[in-house]
Structure 1
Amino acid sequence: MPPVFSHGDLRLYLLNLLDDGPRHGYDIIQALSDRTGGTYTPSAGTIYPRLAKLEEEGLVSKTVDGRKTIYEITETGHAEVLARRDDLAGIEAGLADSVRLIADEVRGSVRDAMRSLRADLAAAGAEQRPDGEPAPEDARTRSREQLQRADAAVNDFRGRMRADLRTHVARGGDLTEALVDDIVAGLDDIAREVTRSLAG
């Protein structure tokens, strides 16, 4: 997968995050992770030098609050964010593309899991007792176990996606109608694949 941020984009995106309000370093790192759907979680060694550079340029100021260093955008920094709104729109579009790539990868993973489950079910159905009769209870037991596993996976996915989307919006991220349409279409594709797999 290509880098989430092209050259220079991270600098501008940091300013944009701080334009929403003062933040400490860990909060900035978490916001970047949230807004990229977990595709990009930068290290402190990536973020703090860039914040220091922004401070040198007069775009950001910092204050120490106990054990935390709080970063705040300056008027000069705010003016740069306003002047580069078109660039920011392009960056946001790139982040939306990253989320779509994640959705594609999830769909692929679900398809692979369903193929594996179908193969497991077929193998379980082919197993027979020594007298040649099928062992329906064993197959049902295995199916119930796999149902619990599938149910847990679906609930885990749902919880993670809800948390990511809610965090994205809470942090001021733009959740466009087109992106939600893509998510809905992707989930419909997954549902159809599951139905086809179960039908055999």
Structure 2
Amino acid sequence: MPAVFSHGDLRLYLLSLLDETPRHGYDIIQALAERTGGTYTPSAGTIYPRLAKLEEEGLVTKTVDGRKTIYAITDAGRAEVRSRADELDGIQEGLADSVRLIADGVRASVREAMRSLRADLAAAANAPAQETPHPRPGDDPRVRSREQLQRAEVLVNEFRGRVRADLRTHVARGGELPSAVVDELGVALDAAADAVKAHLGR
């Protein structure tokens, strides 16, 4: 995956985060993960040396609050953020693009899962007629229906587990889950349920 921040961009973005509010190191790391949609979660070994460099340059100060070290921007740091506002806007746009790419990936996964589910449902609905166009004497349709019900339940549970695992993994990694994706999932599930009802009503 390409670097989220180009050379020098992380330094400026750290200043912009501290321009919003004083933060401790872990808070900065979490903010970066959230703002990048989980595409970038820096290590302490990446962040703290840069904060130390900013302190040396007189752009931030640090104070110890219990076991936490709080970093705050100085007037000189604010002046640099203001003077490089255009560069910061470009960085923000790049981060927004990264989040959009993740959201598009989640939506694509949901659409593919729903296409697969609808295909499985259609196959399940058509299979009995294709396999046994004329019931054999003594062939109980209730037995066949129970077998197909079990098959349908397996398909639904597999789909639920697959999508749930994908969503949980995405969020656990710090990724953003836009409401539009969940809305689209709801619409797709409603459509699948309507398709099942339509087949059953034939």
Query: Deviations for 1:49-81, whole angstroms, at most 9, x for unmatched residues?
Result: 111111111111111111101001011111000
Letter in 1 for 2:74: T
Contact in 2 for aligned 1:104/1:186 (Cα 8 Å):
no
Matched, 1:8 2:8: yes
Aligned pairs for 1:17-166 (under 5 A) are 17-122=17-122, 124-125=124-125, 126=127, 131=139, 133=141, 135-143=144-152, 146=156, 149=160, 153=164
Question: What's the offset of the Cα at 1:111?
Answer: 2.6
Question: What's the offset of the Cα at 1:195?
Answer: 4.2
Distance 2:194 2:2 in 1: 35
Counterpart secondary structure, 2:3: coil
Query: Deviations for 1:145-184, whole angstroms, at most 9, x for unmatched residues?
Result: 627928x84xx68xx6xx9779xxxxxxxxxxxxx9xx85
Are the structure 2 counterparts of residues 165 and 185 from structure 1 closer, same or farther at C-alpha, using a change threshold of 3 Å? closer
Are the structure 2 counterparts of residues 31 and 64 from structure 1 closer, same or farther at C-alpha, using a change threshold of 3 Å? same
Are the structure 2 counterparts of residues 48 and 112 from structure 1 closer, same or farther at C-alpha, using a change threshold of 3 Å? same
Are the structure 2 counterparts of residues 31 and 93 from structure 1 closer, same or farther at C-alpha, using a change threshold of 3 Å? same
Contact in 2 for aligned 1:111/1:193 (Cα 8 Å):
no
Counterpart secondary structure, 1:15: helix
Distance 1:72 1:142 in 2: 60
Identical counterparts, % of pairs: 61
Letter in 1 for 2:144: A
Find the counterpart in structure 1 of residue 199 from structure 2: none
Are the structure 2 counterparts of residues 197 and 87 from structure 1 closer, same or farther at C-alpha, using a change threshold of 3 Å? farther
Counterpart secondary structure, 1:71: strand
Contact in 2 for aligned 1:61/1:73 (Cα 8 Å):
yes
Are the structure 2 counterparts of residues 42 and 188 from structure 1 closer, same or farther at C-alpha, using a change threshold of 3 Å? same
Question: What's the offset of the Cα at 1:188?
Answer: 5.6
Distance 2:153 2:9 in 1: 49
Distance 1:26 1:185 in 2: 29
Question: What's the offset of the Cα at 1:16?
Answer: 0.1
Distance 2:36 2:151 in 1: 38
TM-score, length-normalised on structure 2?
Answer: 0.70
Contact in 2 for aligned 1:114/1:197 (Cα 8 Å):
no
List alignment gaps of at least 5 residues for structure 2.
197-202
Contact in 2 for aligned 1:22/1:71 (Cα 8 Å):
yes
Contact in 1 for aligned 2:62/2:69 (Cα 8 Å):
yes
Distance 2:47 2:195 in 1: 50
Contact in 2 for aligned 1:25/1:70 (Cα 8 Å):
yes
- The structure with the larger Rg is 2
List alignment gaps of at least 5 residues for structure 1.
167-179
Contact in 1 for aligned 2:103/2:181 (Cα 8 Å):
no
Aligned residues: 180
Distance 1:56 1:139 in 2: 71
Counterpart secondary structure, 1:63: strand
